Amino acid sequence: MKAAVIVFPGLNRDRDMIAALTKIGGSKPAIVWHQDADIPDADLIVIPGGFSYGDYLRCGAIAARSPIMDKLRERAAQGVKVLGVCNGFQILIEAGLLPGALMRNMSLKFVCREVKLEVVNADTDFTRGYAKGQIIRCPVAHHDGNYFADAETLKRIEGEGRVAFRYAEGTNPNGSINDIAGIFNENKNVLGLMPHPENLIEAAHGGEDGRALFAAALQQVA
Amino acid sequence: MKARVIVTLKNGVLDPQGQAIEGSLASLSFGGVSNVRQGKVFDFEIEGTDEQAARSQIKAMCEKLLANTVIENFAIEISH
C-alpha cells in the first residue's frame, strides 16, 4: 500500500503525519511538494495540517487553488483514498472535494486540547477499524474548525452516512453544527476531519486511538 | 478602472467575530448598535474600458476565489 503526502508552504503537521504513515504503513510515504507536476502512484493521498499560505484570505483557500489540486481531484475521482486533517480538511472543503465550510471557532479562541469523538460511520475504508458508536480520544488544535453547512446539505450528508466522526460527551470545541468533526465525500473515499489522529498512535503519545484509522486506510484493498 | 469587491457573510450564518465586536462597542458605551457583521473589502485595478466585461470577470473571480459562496455574498463596485 503506497501513501503520498502533499505539502504546501506553511503546513507544520507534515512531519507528524509522515511519521505516523511510516510507522503504521511500514514504509515512508512519497512527499509531494505543491509545485510538483504530478502525484506519484499512491493508494492513499494525505494533506496534513498547519497554516498553508498563512491562512490568508480564508483557511486553505489559496492552497485549494494550486495546480496540484487538479491532480488530486483526478485521483479522487478514480477512487484513490484522500485524507485531509485540520488544514488539510479546510483545503479539501475549499477545493470543493467536500461540502460545507469551516468557520472561526464559536469561542473565537484557538483550541488545543483533547476531545472525544464518536465514530458515526464505521463501514468505510477509513473507519472499519472502529465500531459504530465507539468513543475514541483525539487531540484537536485549530482556530477555524466550526463546521457549517446549509440545511439541505446537512440533511444530505447526515442521510447518506457521510458524517464520519462527531464530537462526543460535550467536547465540541468549536461550535460545529451537529457536533460534526469529520465528513466523507459521496463515495466515501475522501475523508476530512479537524482532529489529529496522527498525534495519538503510540504509547508515548499517551494513547493509540488514532492508529486504527491509518491501519484501515493503509490496508490493501481485498 | 478601479474595482472594489465587498464580501459579507450570508444571512443566517453565525458571525462570532461580529458578535464580539458588537459587545466591544457596547462596552465602549456606543448604544443602539445591533446586528454587527464583519466582512472583507478587496480594492484593485483592472485593465480595459468595458465595464460589463470587467464586471463579469470580477464575478468569476469572486466565485472562484475571493468569496466562499457557501457562507458569503459579494458585491462589485467599479469606478473609472
Query: Percent of chain B scored above 70 by pLDDT?
Result: 100
In chain A, residues with a C-beta closer than 8 Å to the C-beta of B16 are 104-108, 175
Helix/strand/coil (H/E/C) assignment for every residue in A16-67: HHHHHHHHHHCCCCEEEECCCCCCCCCCEEEECCECHHHHCCCCCHHHHCCC
pLDDT band at A58 (very low <50, low <70, confident <90, very high): very high
In chain B, residues with a C-beta closer than 8 Å to the C-beta of A148 are 13-14, 70-71
Query: Percent of chain A scored above 70 by pLDDT?
Result: 99
Q: Which pLDDT tens digit goes with each residue over A43-52?
A: 999 999 999 9
Q: Is the pLDDT of residue A221 over 60?
A: no
Q: If you classify domain B2-79 with CATH, what class do you get?
A: alpha beta
A150–B70 C-beta distance less than 8 A:
yes
Instruction: Name the β-bridge partners of A6.
Output: A32
Q: Domain ranges in chain A?
A: 3-217
The pLDDT of residue B80 is: 84
Residue A7, SS3 per DSSP: strand
Q: Which pLDDT tens digit goes with each residue over A10-22?
A: 999 999 999 999 9
* B64 interfaces chain A, CB cutoff of 8 Å: yes
The pLDDT of residue A222 is: 40
- Nearest CA to CA, how far is A12 from chain B (Å)? 24
pTM (predicted TM-score): 0.93
- Nearest CA to CA, how far is A51 from chain B (Å)? 18
Number of Cβ atoms within 10 Å of the Cβ of A164: 26
B20–A104 C-beta distance less than 8 A:
no
Q: Which helix (H) or strand (E) holds B26?
A: helix B16-27
B64–A148 C-beta distance less than 8 A:
no
A148–B71 C-beta distance less than 8 A:
yes
Instruction: Name the β-bridge partners of B72.
Output: B9
Q: Which residues of A are catalytic?
A: 86, 196, 198
pLDDT band at A24 (very low <50, low <70, confident <90, very high): very high
Q: Is the pLDDT of residue A32 over 70?
A: yes
Domain made up of A3-217: CATH architecture: 3-Layer(aba) Sandwich (3.40)
The pLDDT of residue B16 is: 87
What does residue A217 show for φ and ψ, rounded to 5 degrees?
-65, -25
Q: Which of A65, A92, A103 to mutate to test the interface with B (most CBs of B within 10 A)?
A: A103
* B21 interfaces chain A, CB cutoff of 8 Å: no
Cell digits of residue A74: 483526478
The pLDDT of residue A220 is: 58
Cell digits of residue B75: 458585491
A103–B70 C-beta distance less than 8 A:
no
Q: Which pLDDT tens digit goes with each residue over A167-220?
A: 999 999 999 999 999 999 999 999 999 999 999 999 999 999 999 999 999 985
* A to B CB pairs, distance under 8 Å: 33
Q: How many Cα atoms within 13 Å fall on the side-chain side of residue A114?
A: 13
Characterize the bridge pairing of strands A81-85 and A44-47: parallel
Q: Which pLDDT tens digit goes with each residue over B38-70?
A: 999 999 999 999 999 999 999 999 999 999 999
